[in-house]
DNA sequence: TAGATTGTTAATCGATTAACAATC
DNA sequence: TAGATTGTTAATCGATTAACAATC
């Protein structure tokens, strides 16, 4: 049994991937943990520790091969295969996410959208049709949907979680401002935008204080 | 000089606020750290430690007064006064955030939006007009803008950061997929949506592994 | 080979949890 | 007063950083 890797480490992987992608685009072939640490403003020690959770990707005296490390981290993050995705809630936020082509590039394929608002039914966001809520259950089963994105208000979110779980969804990307209760084995990633804004608000207030001292 | 409070603690405050708001709505007057801990699935010890960073809001033998604690946490988060805000980038995401009335309730007042796309100029998102980028600098100064929300691609984000800083913005809520370099004293809160999705992807892959074992 | 840099162990630091005296 | 629950100190746990032997 492998040891569990902490979510702190996982949270840093996408950032490594982003910097490595940039280096790749610049045609840079190799990088040492020291160089990367200066670029990313983290310690070289942390980079080496983080990577060694997954195996020895570097070479002593040389550093890391950018291409190789990029692809290894991609694999760790599960970006080497694709996921079918639906968006529940076709408001501005749902449409914004649906239109974001970069997700598709990473293997997150938008299969359909759902909304209670009849006026939206039949409209398309890229290749995905906006459908009524009563088609949700069968659509998930028939299209092997892996991920449901929740961009509806919290009452709606709570209403549909069970439907999602019962029909075999694997993960929920939750933008509703509520904590979801799901059975073990179903992954939930919360994006609580107002929490993030409040954090910013706190830091502004405190930064002002510090100046005043 | 007060000791610095860790961002880990700050990150939990909005969630406390949310639960206390719900309790308030249910008409509940008092709650103990024990009861709240069961509701929120954290330890009672953590709740008491977190709150005591800011002062003794409770009372021995009684617990915490819900109304009072709610308002105290709101104050800590700086929600007792208002911020002027602009959104740079009037695409789907910018519009979604602009239309989100709950931010206004919390004191984040949308004053204007900016976009390079001429077709959008003059359109309104609620009371805020979409303006061309060349009006950005003067608008910030004339309207005492505190927060800029960046919902534009990364090249644009990097292009306009200096303008924001030079004209006295206090904080940036950054949705662009890039790390911003700002002088000390300017707060940045990043919302890297694709990072969040990759984290979900990792957890799905790993959850599948665990099942297979 | 000599120099560079990793992989990994050990030391430190910080955050979380437990325990309990203070006190309402 | 007795019981309940906080505020706070002490203990534990985990994450980060430092150090260095291994090795390319």
Report pLDDT for A211. 63
Put simply, whether B99 touches A (Cβ < 8 Å) is yes
Surface of A (170-189) touching B: CB under 8 A: 170-171, 173, 177, 185, 187, 189
pLDDT per position as a tens digit, A64-75:
999 999 999 999
Report pLDDT for B207. 82
- In the complex, which nucleotide's C1' lies nearest to the CA atom of residue A52? C7
- Asked if strand C comes closer than 7 Å to B60 Cβ, the answer is yes
First-to-last C-alpha distance (Å) of chain B: 53
C-alpha–C-alpha distance, residues A165 and B70, integer Å = 33
Please give the C-alpha separations between residue A199 and each of A9, B13, B64, B68, B190, in angstroms, as whole numbers.
Answer: 22, 8, 23, 20, 11
**Out of A10, A91, A106, closest to residue B199 by CB:** A10
Q: Do A173 and B200 touch (CB under 8 A)?
A: yes
A2 pLDDT above the threshold of 70: no
pLDDT band at A1 (very low <50, low <70, confident <90, very high): very low
pLDDT per position as a tens digit, B128-169:
999 999 999 999 999 999 999 999 999 999 999 999 999 999
- Measured between beta carbons, the chain A residues lying within 8 angstroms of B213 are 1
Q: Which residue is associated with the tokens 């024990």?
A: B34
Q: Do B189 and A207 touch (CB under 8 A)?
A: no
Q: Do A196 and B207 touch (CB under 8 A)?
A: no
C-alpha–C-alpha distance, residues B22 and A112, integer Å = 33
Contact between A132 and A121 under an 8 Å Cβ cutoff? The reply is yes
Report which secondary-structure segment, H or E, holds A33: helix A33-40
B1 pLDDT above the threshold of 50: no
Report pLDDT for B212. 61
pLDDT per position as a tens digit, B84-107:
999 999 999 999 999 987 889 999
Report pLDDT for B100. 87
* CATH annotation of A83-195: 3.40.50.720
- Bases in strand D with any atom closer than 7 Å to a protein CB: 2-9, 14-19, 22-24
What class is the B7-76 domain? Answer: mainly alpha
- Asked if strand D comes closer than 7 Å to A40 Cβ, the answer is no
Report pLDDT for A63. 97
Report pLDDT for A207. 82
Surface of B (35-74) touching A: CB under 8 A: none
Neighbours of B80 (CB within 10 A): 11
Looking at per-residue pLDDT, the higher value among A212 and A53 belongs to: A53
Global pTM value: 0.95
- Asked if strand D comes closer than 7 Å to A203 Cβ, the answer is no
- Measured between beta carbons, the chain A residues lying within 8 angstroms of B146 are 204
Q: How far does the CA of A57 sit from the C1' of D24, in Å?
A: 13
B33 pLDDT above the threshold of 80: yes
**Out of B18, B185, B211, closest to residue A211 by CB:** B185
- Asked if strand D comes closer than 7 Å to B52 Cβ, the answer is yes
The percentage of chain A sitting over the pLDDT mark of 90, rounded to a whole number, equals 91
Q: Which residue is associated with the tokens 């401002």?
A: A177
Report pLDDT for A4. 85
Q: Which residue is associated with the tokens 């999705």?
A: B197
Kindly provide the b/e burial profile for residues B148-164, where b requires at least 16 CB atoms within 10 angstroms of the residue's own CB: bbbbbeeebbbebbeeb
Helix axes A7-25, A44-52, angle to 10 degrees: 110
- Asked if strand C comes closer than 7 Å to A43 Cβ, the answer is no
Question: According to CATH, where is 3.40.50.720 located in chain B?
Answer: 83-195
pLDDT averaged over every residue in chain B:
95
Cα A90 to the chain's mean position, in Å? 19
pLDDT per position as a tens digit, A124-154:
999 999 999 999 999 999 999 999 999 999 9
Q: Taking CA atoms, what residue in B is nearest to A7?
A: B199
Report pLDDT for A212. 61
pLDDT band at A191 (very low <50, low <70, confident <90, very high): very high
A111 pLDDT above the threshold of 80: yes
- Measured between beta carbons, the chain B residues lying within 8 angstroms of A125 are none
Q: For residue B62, give how far its alpha carbon lies from the nearest alpha carbon of chain A (Å).
A: 27
Question: According to CATH, where is 1.10.10.10 located in chain B?
Answer: 7-76
**Nearest residue (CA) to C1' of D16:** A46
């Amino acid at each position: 049994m492998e040891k569990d890797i902490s979510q702190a480490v996982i949270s840093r992987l996408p950032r490594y991937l982003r910097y490595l992608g940039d280096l790749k685009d610049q045609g840079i072939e190799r990088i040492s943990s020291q160089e990367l640490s200066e670029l990313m403003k983290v310690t070289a020690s942390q980079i080496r520790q983080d990577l060694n959770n997954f195996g020895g990707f570097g070479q002593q005296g040389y550093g890391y091969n950018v291409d190789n490390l990029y692809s290894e981290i991609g694999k760790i993050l599960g970006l080497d295969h694709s996921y079918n995705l639906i968006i529940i809630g076709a408001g501005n936020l749902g449409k914004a996410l649906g239109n974001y082509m970069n997700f598709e590039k990473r293997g997150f394929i938008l299969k359909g959208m759902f909304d209670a608002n009849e006026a939206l039914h039949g409209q398309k966001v890229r290749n995905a049709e906006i459908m009524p809520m009563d088609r949700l259950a069968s659509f998930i089963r028939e299209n092997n949907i892996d991920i449901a994105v929740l961009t509806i208000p919290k009452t709606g979110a709570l209403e549909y979680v069970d439907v999602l779980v019962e029909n075999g969804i694997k993960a929920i990307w939750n933008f509703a401002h509520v904590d979801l209760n799901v059975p073990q084995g179903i992954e939930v990633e919360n994006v609580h935008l107002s929490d993030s804004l409040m954090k910013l608000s706190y830091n502004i207030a405190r930064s002002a204080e510090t100046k005043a001292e």
